[in-house]
Amino acid sequence: MTVSERTQWIEEQTLSPYAALSKNTLGRDVPEQECDLRTPYQRDRDKILHCKSFRRLKHKTQVFLSPEGDHYRTRLTHTLEVSQIARTIARALQLNEDLTEAISLGHDLGHTPFGHAGERALDELCPGGFRHYEQSVRIVEKLEKNGTGLNLTKEVRDGILCHTKGTEAMTLEGRLVRLADRIAYINHDMDDAERAGVLLESDIPADIKSVLGGRRTERIDTLVHSVVENSQDGQIKMDPKVQEAFDRLHSFMFESVYLNPYAKAEEKKVPNLIGTLYSYYLKRPEHFPQDMCLIVEQDGIERAACDYIAGMTDHFAIQLFQDIYVPKSWNI
């Protein structure tokens, strides 16, 4: 028995009947020789962890555009927090941690520079629109590894695609990641808003704090415990009272932070920057990097421009804009 076979045997003996067993995976589009150390879901986790798109998340906005300070969340730290919360719940519910982790690490690979402001800008520009969760799947299926993709299992790709609103994932692990994503971003965005002076802890309505707790760690602990204690019969859910308070906290964050004119003041510059870069590459396809030339040939110049800009970090997009359009001093 190999190490991976032993792991799959342990899964079969210990996991919930509702868990996705790695031995039952629907597989990959392109068959690969199995690893004798890692299960298919463990391999998917490692493929994502080592890909270029994952590394770029460290310089992509979560909520505050290019904030001054070392302690604000980025898209990478958000991803890691989602993974930690999702794995904690998965372990408690005896679900497949490896599948949960792989989906968590890959769920935001397709996010644009400048957070949701960049996503909205590309959505208006790109034929057919732009949605980051679809782009995340496009990255792992095609854009990574010079056009060959990561060749992930169907369960991981499905969990990535369905991590936000709309159709639920086919696995309980995928549905769990959707909830963990929401638990993570609401609480850490609140923490960042307090650090930025946009929000005070005392601003949080008392009736919400009485249910969830006043501090970030208390709220996350309450939410995670509620999921673990109330999920059953293949359903991921919270206590109704906790769920209602959590929904009200989400609405409070939209009113106080996500739509706050002070916190979002710089976002009004994003559509012009994104739109200018998009138009530039439509007119000058010869300026695409080499790895985008194949996309131009296969999917057209508009799709290539969308893919290239979506993959940029905040700093790279700003620097590229400056290099193209801002005059430089001439030195003798």
Mean pLDDT on 64-82:
84
Q: Residue for token digits 């396809």?
A: 285
Distance of alpha carbon 273 from alpha carbon 118, whole angstroms: 9
Tell me the CATH number of domain 41-268, given options 3.60.20.10, 1.10.3210.10, 3.40.50.720, 3.40.720.10: 1.10.3210.10
pLDDT at position 264 is 77
Residue 261 pLDDT > 90: no
Listed residue (110, 89, 112, 113) closest to 99, CA to CA? 89
Is residue 76 pLDDT above 90, yes or no?
yes
pLDDT band at 98 (very low <50, low <70, confident <90, very high): very high
Read off the tokens for 234: 């293949």
Query: Quick check: pTM over 0.85?
Result: yes
| Contact (Cβ atoms closer than 8 angstroms) between residue 178 and residue 165 | no
155-167 residues labelled b (16+ CB within 10 A) or e (exposed): bbbbbbbbbeeee
Question: What is the C-alpha separation between 123 and 131, in angstroms, rounded?
Answer: 7
**The one-letter amino acid at 313:** T
What letter does residue 203 receive in the DSSP assignment?
Answer: G
pLDDT grade for 259, boundaries at 50, 70 and 90: confident
Give the pLDDT of residue 195.
87
Report, as an integer, the average pLDDT of 154-177.
96
Mean pLDDT computed over 56-61: 93
Over residues 316-325, mean pLDDT: 95
The pLDDT assigned to 67 comes to 59
Report d(CA 217, CA 84) in Å as an integer: 13
C-alpha 44/C-alpha 33 separation (Å) is 13
- Under the banding of pLDDT at 50, 70 and 90, the label for residue 332 is low
Reported as a pLDDT band with limits 50, 70 and 90, residue 262 is confident
CB–CB of 122/130 below 8 Å? yes
For all residues of the chain together, what is the average pLDDT?
94
The four Cα atoms 45, 48, 51, 57 give a dihedral, to 10 degrees, of -120
Tens-place pLDDT, residues 193-212: 998 888 888 899 999 999 99
Angle formed at CA 288 by CA 284 and CA 290, multiple of 5 degrees: 145
Q: Binning pLDDT at 50, 70 and 90, where does residue 68 land?
A: low
Q: Once rounded to an integer, what is the mean pLDDT over residues 300-321? A: 96
